[in-house]
A and B are shown apart, each in its own frame.
Chain A
Amino acid sequence: MKARISDLKRFAVHDGDGIRTTVFFKGCSLRCVWCHNPEGISFTPQIAYYENKCIGCGECVMHCRHGGHICTDTAHLYRRESCIGCGACVSACLGDALTFYGKEVTVDELLPLLLEDREFYETTNGGVTLSGGECLMQAQFCGELLHRLKEEGIHTAVDTCGFVPRTALDTVIPWTDVFLYDLKAYDEDVHIRCTGQSNRLILDNLRYLDSLGTQTEIRIPYVPGYNDDQIDRIAGFVKSLHNVRRVKVLPYHNYAGSKYAALGMTNTLPENLPSDEEIRLAQEKF
Chain B
Amino acid sequence: MEYIHDTDYAYITEKFRDLTNRSHTSNRFVRNDALFAESTGLTSDEILEGIRKQDSTLTHLSHPVRKAKAFAYVLEHTRINCDSRDRFPAIHMIDRPLNKTVIAAWNNEVFTKIIPEVNPVRSAMEKNAIATMWTDYDHSVPYWDRILPLGFAGILRESEEARETRETITPDMSAFYDGIKITYEAILHFLGRLEKQAEAQNNPRLAAALRNLQTDAPGTFYEALLTDYLYFMLSEHIEGLQARSLSNFDRVFYPFYRKDLAAGITEEEIREDLAYFFLQFMSIGNYWGQPVYLGGCTEDEGTVVNELSYLFLDVYDRMGIYNPKLQIKVAASTPKPFLQKALDMIRRGNSSIVFVSDATMRTALMRAGASAEEARMCDVKGCYEYNIRGAVDIGMNYVNLLKPLEFALHQGHDGVSGAFMGLDCCPAEGYTDFDAFLTEYKRQLSHIIDTVIETVNIFEDYLDTINPQSLLSAAFPNCIRTGRDALGGGAANNVSGMMFGFMADAADSLANIRKYVFERKMLSLTELRDMLDADFAGNEKWRRIFLADPDKYGNNKDLPDGIAADIADFICGQVNGRPNAKRRGGTWAPGFHVARMSYNWANQTASSANGRKRGEELSKNLSASMGMNREGATAAILSITKIDATKFASDACLDLGLLPSAVQGDDGLEAMYGLLATFLRRNGHAMHINVFSADTLRQAQKEPEKYKDLQIRVCGWNVLFNQICKVEQDAFIRQAESLV
Interface residues of A (CB under 8 A from B): 9-11, 13-14, 17-19, 55, 57, 59, 93-96, 116-117, 119-120, 122-124, 126
Which of A9, A19, A57, A126 is packed against the most chain B CB atoms within 10 Å?
A19
Residue of B nearest to A13 (CB): B671
With A116-B556, A119-B678 known as contacts, the answer to whether A13 contacts B667 (CB < 8 A) is yes
Decide if A11 touches B633 in the complex (CB within 8 Å).
yes
Q: Does B544 contact A55, Cβ atoms closer than 8 Å?
A: yes
Q: A11-B633, A116-B635, A117-B634 are in contact. Are A124 and B541 (CB under 8 A)?
A: no
Interface-centre pick from A9, A11, A19, A120 (highest chain B CB count, 10 A): A11
List, sorted by A's number, 27 A–B pairs whose CB atoms are closer than 8 Å.
A10-B631, A10-B635, A10-B740, A11-B632, A11-B634, A11-B671, A11-B675, A13-B662, A13-B668, A18-B671, A19-B671, A55-B540, A59-B541, A94-B548, A116-B634, A116-B638, A117-B634, A119-B682, A120-B675, A122-B678, A123-B674, A123-B681, A124-B670, A124-B671, A124-B673, A124-B674, A126-B674
Kindly state the separation between the CA atoms of A72 and B638 in the bound complex, as whole angstroms.
Answer: 43
Q: Is the CB of B740 within 8 A of A94?
A: no
Cβ of B677 under 8 Å from chain A: yes
- Inter-subunit contact A10/B634 (CB<8 Å): yes
Q: 8 Å CB contacts to A: which residues of B596-636?
A: 631-635
Q: Is the CB of A94 within 8 A of B544?
A: yes
Q: Which of A18, A94, A96, A122 contacts B545 (CB 8 A)?
A: A94
| Nearest residue, chain A, Cβ from B663 | A13
Contact between chains at B681 and A119 (CB < 8 Å): yes
Give A93 to B664 CA distance when docked, in angstroms: 34
Cα A125 to Cα B618 with chains together (Å): 36
Q: Which of B545, B632, B663, B677 contacts A10 (CB 8 A)?
A: B632
Chain B residues contacting A122 (CB-CB under 8 Å) are 678
Find chain A residues with CB under 8 A from B667 CB: 13-14, 17
Known: A96-B548, A120-B634. 15 other contacts (CB 8 A): A10-B635, A11-B662, A11-B675, A11-B740, A14-B668, A17-B667, A55-B540, A94-B545, A116-B556, A119-B681, A120-B637, A120-B674, A123-B677, A123-B681, A124-B673
Cα A93 to Cα B634 with chains together (Å)? 27
Distance, CA A18 to CA B350, complexed state (A): 24
User: Distance in Å from the Cβ of B58 to the closest Cβ of chain A?
Assistant: 62
Query: In the bound complex, what is the Cα–Cα distance between A137 and B637 (angstroms)?
Result: 34
Report the minimum CB–CB distance from A149 to chain B (whole Å).
17
- Please, which residues of chain A bring their CB within 8 A of the CB of B637? 120
Whether B541 and A19, one on each chain, are in contact in the complex, defined by CB atoms closer than 8 angstroms, is no
Which residues on B sit within 8 Å (CB–CB) of A116? 556, 634-635, 638
**Interchain CA distance A123-B633 in the complex, whole Å:** 15
Q: Which of A10, A14, A18, A57 contacts B541 (CB 8 A)?
A: A57
- How far, in angstroms, from A33 to B697 measured CA to CA in the complex? 31
A256 to chain B, nearest CB (A): 13
Cβ–Cβ < 8 Å partners of B682 in chain A: 119
Residues on the B chain within 8 Å of A120, using CB:
634, 637, 674-675, 678
- What 1/0 mask marks residues of chain B from 583 to 604 whose CB sits below 8 Å from any chain A CB? 0000000000000000000000
Evaluate contact between B544 and A95: CB separation under 8 angstroms.
yes
User: A117 → chain B, closest Cβ, in Å?
Assistant: 5
Closest to B542 in A: A94
Q: State A18–B548 Cα separation when bound (angstroms).
A: 31
Which 4 residue pairs across A and B have the least CB separation, nearest first? A124-B674, A94-B544, A13-B671, A123-B677
Closest approach, in angstroms, between the C-beta of A203 and any C-beta of chain B?
27
Q: Is the CB of B544 within 8 A of A18?
A: no
Q: Please state if A19 and B740 are interface contacts (CB–CB under 8 Å).
A: no
B670 touches A18 (CB 8 A): yes
Q: Tell me how far the C-beta of B661 lies from the nearest C-beta in chain A, rounded to whole angstroms.
A: 8
Chain A residue at minimum C-beta to C-beta distance from B546: A94
Q: How far is the CB of A270 from chain B (nearest CB, A)?
A: 19
* In the complex, chain B residues whose CB is within 8 Å of the CB of A124: 670-671, 673-674, 677
Residue in A closest to B632 when the chains form the complex, CB atoms: A11
Chain A residue with the shortest CB-CB distance to B682: A119
CA distance A14 to B633 in the complex (A): 15
Give the Cβ gap from B537 to chain A, nearest Cβ, in Å.
Answer: 16
Give every chain A residue within 8 A of B673 (Cβ-Cβ). Answer: 124
0/1 string, B269-284, CB within 8 A of A gives 1 = 0000000000000000
Find chain B residues with CB under 8 A from A14 CB: 664-665, 667-668
CB distance from B740 to the nearest CB of A (A): 7
**Identity of the chain A residue whose Cβ is nearest the Cβ of B662 in the assembled complex:** A13
Q: How far is the CA of A90 from the CA of B674 in the complex (A)?
A: 34
Cβ contacts under 8 Å, B634 to chain A: 10-11, 19, 116-117, 120
B414 to chain A, nearest CB (A): 30
Q: Which B residues lie within 8 Å of A94 (CB)? A: 541, 544-545, 548
Specify which chain B residues have a CB less than 8 angstroms from the CB of A55 in the assembled complex.
540, 544
Q: Distance in Å from the Cβ of A274 to the closest Cβ of chain B? A: 15
Q: How far is the CA of A84 from the CA of B205 in the complex (A)?
A: 82
Chain B, Cβ-Cβ closest to A117: B634
Q: Residue on A with the closest CB to B635? A: A10
Q: How far is the CA of A18 from the CA of B672 in the complex (A)?
A: 10
Q: How far is the CA of A120 from the CA of B677 in the complex (A)?
A: 8
- Give the CA-CA distance A139 to B668 in the complex, in Å: 30
Q: Are B631 and A123 in contact (CB-based, < 8 A)?
A: no
Complex Cα distance, B634 from A117, in Å, reads: 7
> Are B674 and A19 touching (Cβ within 8 A)?
yes
Taken together as a complex, chains A and B put the C-alpha atoms of A65 and B34 apart, in Å, by 76
The distance in angstroms between the C-alpha atoms of A14 and B681, with both chains bound, is 23
Residues of A within 8 A of B544 (CB): 55, 57, 94-95
Within 8 A of A (CB), among B660-715: 662-665, 667-668, 670-671, 673-675, 677-678, 681-682
Question: B residues within 8 A CB of A59?
Answer: 541
Chain A: minimal CB distance from B739 (Å): 10
Q: Report B678 CB to chain A, min CB distance, Å.
A: 5
Q: Which residues of chain A are within 8 angstroms of B740 by Cβ–Cβ distance?
A: 9-11
Chain A residue contacts of B556, Cβ below 8 A: 116
| Alpha-carbon distance between A13 and B668 when the two chains are bound, in angstroms | 6
Question: Which residues of chain B (88-141) have a CB below 8 Å from chain A?
Answer: none
Q: Within the assembled complex, what's the spacing in Å between the Cα atoms of A18 and B668?
A: 9
Query: In chain B, what residue has the closest Cβ to A94?
Result: B544
A18 pairs with B674, CB closer than 8 A: yes
Chain B's closest residue to A126 (CB) is B674
Give Cα distance in the complex from A122 to B678, angstroms: 9
Residue on B nearest A255 in the bound complex, by CB = B661
CB closest chain-A residue, reference B556: A116
Most buried by B among A9, A13, A14: A13
Return chain B residues, CB-CB under 8 Å to A10: 631-632, 634-635, 740
In the complex, chain B residues whose CB is within 8 Å of the CB of A95: 544
Q: Chain B residues with Cβ under 8 A from A19's Cβ? A: 634, 671, 674-675
CB distance from B346 to the nearest CB of A (A): 15
- What is the CA–CA distance of A152 and B677 in the complex, to the nearest angstrom? 21
Q: What CA separation (Å) do A13 and B632 show in the bound complex?
A: 12
Chain B neighbourhood of A18, CB < 8 A? 670-671, 674
Which residue, B548, B638, B665, B667, has most C-beta atoms of chain A within 10 A?
B667
A119 to B541, CA, bound (A): 38
Q: How far is the CA of A165 from the CA of B545 in the complex (A)?
A: 46
Q: Chain A residues with Cβ under 8 A from B664's Cβ? A: 14
CA distance A255 to B214 in the complex (A): 64
CB distance from A9 to the nearest CB of B (A): 7
